Amino acid sequence: QSALTQPASVSGSPGQSITISCTGTSSDVGGYNYVSWYQQHPGKAPKLMIYEVTNRPSGVSNRFSGSKSGNTASLTISGLQAEDEADYYCSSYTSISTVVFGGGTKLTVL
């Protein structure tokens, strides 16, 4: 199975909004509403930010939102804050009952 495709890096200034894309195929992202997003700070374990495309776990800021169109899912962070600087990973369920991650995106808050 191939990793989902994410941009290597994105950046934005405090207060701005950014969007990270996650592109797969009809056998994963496009075929199921099982896309999730994780935030990872250096040296830390990943943290679930979005599940099942659009849902936020309790305690996650409503500045984080998710969406999907066709084979591409997106994570949008509004009102960027310095603490949002981290690596972000998408993942999806696949048609062969496996899970696949994206390659990761490094978010820099300028």
Partner 1 sequence: QLQLQESGPGLVKPSETLSLTCTVSGGSISSSSYFWGWIRQPPGKGLEWIGSLYYSGTTYYNPSLKSRITISVDTSKNQFSLMLSSVTAADTAVFYCARLLLGRYFFEYWGQGTLVTVSS
Beta carbon of residue 109, minimum distance to partner 1 (angstroms, whole number): 21
Cβ proximity to partner 1, 30 vs 34, nearer residue? 34
Out of 7, 48, 63, 67, name the contact with partner 1 by CB under 8 A: 48
**Residue 40 corresponds to which tokens in the numbers above?**
């990872």
Please report whether residue 45 would count as binding partner 1 according to CB under 8 A.
Answer: yes
CA angle 96, 20, 53 (to 5 degrees): 45
Length of the chain counted residue by residue? 110
Strands (E), the chain: 9-12, 18-23, 35-40, 47-50, 64-69, 72-77, 86-93, 99-101, 105-109
Please report whether residue 46 would count as binding partner 1 according to CB under 8 A.
Answer: yes
Interface residues with partner 1 (CB under 8 A) are 1, 3, 32, 34, 36, 38, 45-48, 51-52, 57, 89, 91-93, 96-104
